[in-house]
Amino acid sequence: MIMTGSAIIQFPQKDLGLTLSEDKVVKKLVEAAKLVSQIYLKQENFKQNGANFYPRDATKSEIEIAARENPDILSPYTMVERGKNGKLVAIPYHIKFKKDLEKVAKLILEAAKITDNKDFAKRLKVQADALLDGNYTASDIYWLSLKPYKINFVIGPIERYDDKLFFTKCSYQSWVGIMNEKYTTDAVRFKNFVVSSRRKVLAASEKVDFLDKIQIRVDDTLIFSGLIARFMFTSANLPNDVNMMEKHGSESTIFIPCFEKKFQDERYPIYQTIFDRSVESPFSVEEIKSGALRNSYLHEISHPLLRYRDSERRLREFFPIFDEIAASTLGIKACGSLLLKDAISQKEFESILLMYIVLGFSWWISYLKEPSVVHYAQGFAIAINYFVENGSIRLNDGKMLPNFTKMYLSISELSDALERILAVGTYEDAKNFVDKYASLNIFTRFKQDLKQVA
């Protein structure tokens, strides 16, 4: 992994089996992605809560007041500046960064000319248009109507993490990836399992329709540029807009190079540390790795299945805790029924369960470095404490000893309890659950053992 310090990460290339023209297309897109980092650098500013999205001297309340008069001030796609008269003005990204964007669009259009795939060519044209005219919705709708294609190219102002003032402004980013056939086939197989087990409980409604529109892919990523290079996500789910997602579907992408790095540096060492020897010995590294990867896609697949319109409003600060752990748990619950159908082996299921526990520790370690991700750690604390309480996990000599049969039986109980809170739970229900189960002590007791990893 090469950190360039310029908000670009290029991953080592392996032979991806591209044709000559595909290779040319990819090279153009990587060039376009690289240029996006230049725009990103104009937006980011770690010293400022509002990054460079707002003038340095503007207070939060001044911005809010200005936005009442001019809603564009808080549009996700404008830079806010001070006009000559001192008033705040909103300048659309596609105007502010026009010069840079024209260079990017030119490369994308060149790639569109080279590709043999007509749909992809059109997609690239629509993406280039969106960069230049700011109509990202049209671009997203066209993209979601397409069948997943070998080459994956995402570009534009997408994630809001850099706007710590209002969590509104989107930062530019781009990535290029090539579909990993083997892992994508596995992910789609699991997706179909999860979705079909879901159909049984849902009445025919618009929501069921939406289940058909969830796409998942696993990519060998070539480049991250802009915000995503800073954050190094192992997966992403787009679009972010819930209404759009409901109408047109969503696509999750797992980024293999990021996943592998996390696995090697963190998840595998945690796995080797926290469990009793007797638990570890039957599994090969490959089996464990596939358990970890399956946790990643089960989580991504389950997220869109757990959207309840008013859960954020009801659960307030507890919402993210339940949102994340419910997604992880629902997928595992679905795996339980696969086991019954012989669709996966007992051993495969066990490796998924083990890596589910490991993920909890991995989030706890992330939380020690970055407190803002505490809700992931708390969510997994709920799950692990729940299993310890009902005897599905025993603590033996300072190590974890799961009883897979018990875990299998109680995971659907837990999944249902979590989903009930998301669907109809009150703030009090959420609070009681958190008070009872979310203590991070379950992780802290392994602190000494995990010193190396943390």
Residues that bind Zn ion (CB under 5 A): 324
Name the residue nearer to Zn ion (CB basis): 151 or 383: 383
Q: Is the dihedral of CA 100, 102, 107, 112 positive or negative?
A: positive
Name the residue nearer to Zn ion (CB basis): 31 or 324: 324
Instruction: Please name which of 214, 259, 205, 219 lies closest in space to residue 239, comparing C-alpha atoms.
Output: 214
Closest contact distance (angstroms) between CB of 57 and Zn ion is: 36
Closest contact distance (angstroms) between CB of 69 and Zn ion is: 36
Structure tokens at 376: 């992931």
Closest contact distance (angstroms) between CB of 17 and Zn ion is: 31
Name the residue nearer to Zn ion (CB basis): 80 or 238: 238
Kindly provide the residue ranges of all beta strands, DSSP E only, lying in 227-348, ordered along the sequence: 235-238, 250-255
Name the residue nearer to Zn ion (CB basis): 163 or 324: 324
Spatial separation of the C-alpha atoms in residues 351 and 193, rounded to whole Å: 18
Beta carbons within 10 angstroms of residue 297's beta carbon: 26
Phi and psi angles of residue 175, each rounded to the nearest 5 degrees, phi first: -145, 155
Got the DSSP string for 104-152? HHHHHHHHHHH-S-HHHHHHHHHHHHHHHH--HHHHHHHHHHSPP-SEE
In 406-439, which positions are buried (b, 16+ CB within 10 angstroms) versus exposed (e)? ebbebbbebbbbbbebbeebeeebbeebbeebbe
Closest contact distance (angstroms) between CB of 327 and Zn ion is: 5
Strand partners, 315: none
8 Å CB contact between 31 and 114: no
Spatial separation of the C-alpha atoms in residues 283 and 267, rounded to whole Å: 15
Degrees, nearest 5: CA angle 310-314-315: 115
Closest contact distance (angstroms) between CB of 324 and Zn ion is: 5
Spatial separation of the C-alpha atoms in residues 303 and 328, rounded to whole Å: 8
Structure tokens at 367: 């939380």
Name the residue nearer to Zn ion (CB basis): 373 or 401: 373
Closest contact distance (angstroms) between CB of 409 and Zn ion is: 25
Closest contact distance (angstroms) between CB of 366 and Zn ion is: 13
For residue 244, give the amino acid letter.
M
Name the residue nearer to Zn ion (CB basis): 74 or 384: 384
DSSP helix/strand/coil, 220? strand
Closest contact distance (angstroms) between CB of 328 and Zn ion is: 8
Name the residue nearer to Zn ion (CB basis): 7 or 438: 438
Q: Which residue is nearest to Zn ion (CB)?
A: 324
Name the residue nearer to Zn ion (CB basis): 76 or 331: 331
Closest contact distance (angstroms) between CB of 237 and Zn ion is: 8
Query: Alpha carbon of 71 to those of 74, 89, 261, 286: distances in Å?
Result: 6, 10, 42, 52
Instruction: Please name which of 244, 199, 192 lies closest in space to residue 215, comparing C-alpha atoms.
Output: 192
Name the residue nearer to Zn ion (CB basis): 250 or 392: 250
Conformational region of residue 117, where left means phi above 0, alpha means psi within -120 to 50, and beta covers everything else: beta
Closest contact distance (angstroms) between CB of 137 and Zn ion is: 24
Closest contact distance (angstroms) between CB of 321 and Zn ion is: 11
Determine which helix (DSSP H) or strand (DSSP E) holds 398, and give its type and residue range. none
Name the residue nearer to Zn ion (CB basis): 77 or 233: 233
Closest contact distance (angstroms) between CB of 78 and Zn ion is: 28
Name the residue nearer to Zn ion (CB basis): 108 or 327: 327
Name the residue nearer to Zn ion (CB basis): 251 or 324: 324
Per DSSP bridges, beta strands 214-226 and 250-255 are: parallel
